[in-house]
Amino acid sequence: MTVAADLADERLVRSRGARGALDVVWNRLRGGDLGSLPVVVGLIVICTVFYSLDPRFLSSFSMVNILTYAAPVGIIALGIVLVLLLGEIDLSVGSVSGMAAAIMAVLVVKEGQPALVGLLAGVAVGAVVGIAYAFLYTVLGIPSFVFSLGGLLGFQGVLLYVLGSDGTINLPDGSGLTEFARFSFVSGAAAYVGVAIVVALYVASRLWTIRQRRAADLSAPSLLGIGLKALALAAGLGWLTWYLGVDRGWSYSFLLFAALVVVVDLALRRTRWGRHVFAVGGNEEAARRSGVKVTRIYVSVFVLTSTLAALGGLLAAGQQTSVSQATGTTDTNLTAIAAAVIGGTSLFGGRGSAYAAMLGIIVLQAIQSGLNIVGVDSSVRFMVTGGVLLLAVAIDSVARRARSASGRG
C-alpha cells in the first residue's frame, strides 16, 4: 500500500479519526487560531438575548430584512477586508459609495442616460479612485490613513457638488436598480434548485481538491467526511430557504453579496494573487525578496476596495430609492470597518477571510434589528456597536499574542 508523502514524514503530526479531528481543533484554538468561532458564538448570544426579549426577532420577516439590508454595507466591508489583509486602511469607502451613487443618479435622472450607463459610470468612478490611491501609496509613499482621510472629506464634497441645490434625487419608479435591490426575491422551487447547485459545486470542488492532492502524492480528505459535510450544508441551506420562503425568500441583493464573497474567497485561497496578498500583509519585505510584485498587489487591492465601495453605494441607492446629501456619509465608514474586524479580520494584516465581511455585517445588522424591535434608542445602538468592536479587537490582540507564543505567526 502506497503511503502519501506527507504521512510518511515522521516530523509531521498525524491526526486521524474523530478524536484526531477534535485534537486538531483544540490545538488550533489553544494556539490562538480562533477563526470564525468568536463571531459565531457572539451571533448565537445576540440571537438568544433578542429572541428572549421579543420572539419577533427571529421571525421570517425579520431575518429576510436583516439579510437584505446587510448586503450594501457588506459589499463595502468585503473591500475593507482586502485592504486590512495588507495591514492598510481605507477611511473613505463611505464617501466613495455616496459619490458613485450621486453620479449614477445625476446621469440617469437629470441627463436621461440609460441605467446601465449610470451604473457603469458609478463603478468606474470607484476604480479610478482606487488607481489614484495606489499612486499615492506606491509612488509618493503617503500612508493610507492620510490619503483616505483626505478622500473621506474630498469625496463628500464631490457628493454635495454633484447633487447641487436639489440635495436629493429620487430614482425613477420601477427602475431596474430599485427592483433588483429592494423588491426582487427568490423562493419556492427556484430557491431549492439554487441550494442543490451550491451543494453540487461544493462536492465538485472537494473532489477536485482530492484529485490535486493525490496527484501531488499528498494525503487527501476522506469521501465520508465530504459526504457528511455536503449533507449538513444541504440540510442547513434547505431549512433556511424554507424559513425565509415563509416570508419573501432570498433577496437578490443578498445573493449578489454572497456570490461576491465566494468569488473573493476563492481568489484569496486558490490563486497566486490571493497567496501574494497574504504574503505582503504578513511581511512585505519578505514577500518582496521572494519575488512577489508588491506594487501590483497594492494597486489591485486599492482598486478592488474602492470599486466594491462604489458597488455597495449603488446597491444602497437602489434600496433607498433615492440619493441624498447624507448618502454614505453617516456611519457607513465605521460600520463597514467594524464589520470586517468583528468578522475576524486582523487589524495587523495577513489574517482574515472574505467570509469575515459576511459574518461581521450580519452581527451588526442583527444588533440594529434587535434594538429596533425592542424599542431602544439609536444612541444605544452606537454604544453597543462600539462595545462589540472593542471586544473584537481585544480578542484579536489576545489571539495574536497566543499565536506568537505558540509559533503560529
Q: What is the spatial distance between Cα 315 and Cα 73, in angstroms, rounded to a whole number?
A: 9
DSSP structural state of residue 171:
P
For the chain, the C-alpha Rg in angstroms (whole number) is 22
The yes-or-no verdict on residue 81 having pLDDT over 90 is yes
| % pLDDT > 90, the chain | 47
Query: 65 versus 394: which is more confidently predicted?
Result: 65
Q: What is the spatial distance between Cα 287 and Cα 267, in angstroms, rounded to a whole number?
A: 18
The pLDDT value given to residue 33: 66
| % pLDDT > 70, the chain | 89
The pLDDT value given to residue 2: 56
The pLDDT value given to residue 52: 92
Q: What's the burial of 132, exposed, middle or buried (CB within 10 Å: 0-12/13-18/19+)?
A: middle
Nearest-5° Cα angle at 333, 328 to 337:
145
Tell me the β-bridge partners of 323. Answer: 169
Determine the average pLDDT of the residues in 267-280: 92
Q: What is the mean pLDDT of the chain?
A: 86
Q: What is the spatial distance between Cα 253 and Cα 33, in angstroms, rounded to a whole number?
A: 32
Is residue 407 very low, low, confident or very high in pLDDT (cuts 50, 70, 90)? low
Q: What is the spatial distance between Cα 340 and Cα 17, in angstroms, rounded to a whole number?
A: 34
Closest to 409 in 3D by CA, of 301, 282, 303:
282
The pLDDT value given to residue 8: 58
Q: What is the spatial distance between Cα 199 and Cα 210, in angstroms, rounded to a whole number?
A: 17
Closest to 255 in 3D by CA, of 272, 271, 241, 239:
241
CB 352 within 8 A of CB 344: yes
Per-residue pLDDT tens for 51-68? 998 888 889 999 999 999
By mean pLDDT, which of 42-56, 57-71, 294-308 is the weakest?
A: 42-56
Q: What is the spatial distance between Cα 333 and Cα 335, in angstroms, rounded to a whole number?
A: 6
Main-chain dihedrals φ then ψ at residue 250, nearest 5 degrees: -80, 130
Whether the model clears a pTM of 0.85, i.e. scores above it, the answer is yes
Nearest-5° Cα angle at 198, 194 to 201:
135
Per-residue pLDDT tens for 167-180? 888 888 888 889 99
Q: What is the spatial distance between Cα 249 and Cα 339, in angstroms, rounded to a whole number?
A: 24
Q: What is the spatial distance between Cα 157 and Cα 188, in angstroms, rounded to a whole number?
A: 45
Per-residue pLDDT tens for 325-381? 888 877 888 889 888 888 888 877 778 888 888 988 998 888 888 888 888 777 777
Per-residue pLDDT tens for 84-120? 999 899 999 999 999 999 999 999 998 889 989 999 9
The pLDDT value given to residue 398: 75
Q: What is the spatial distance between Cα 326 and Cα 232, in angstroms, rounded to a whole number?
A: 43
Is residue 238 very low, low, confident or very high in pLDDT (cuts 50, 70, 90)? very high
Per the listing, cell 453620479 goes with 103
The pLDDT value given to residue 377: 76
Per the listing, cell 511581511 goes with 283
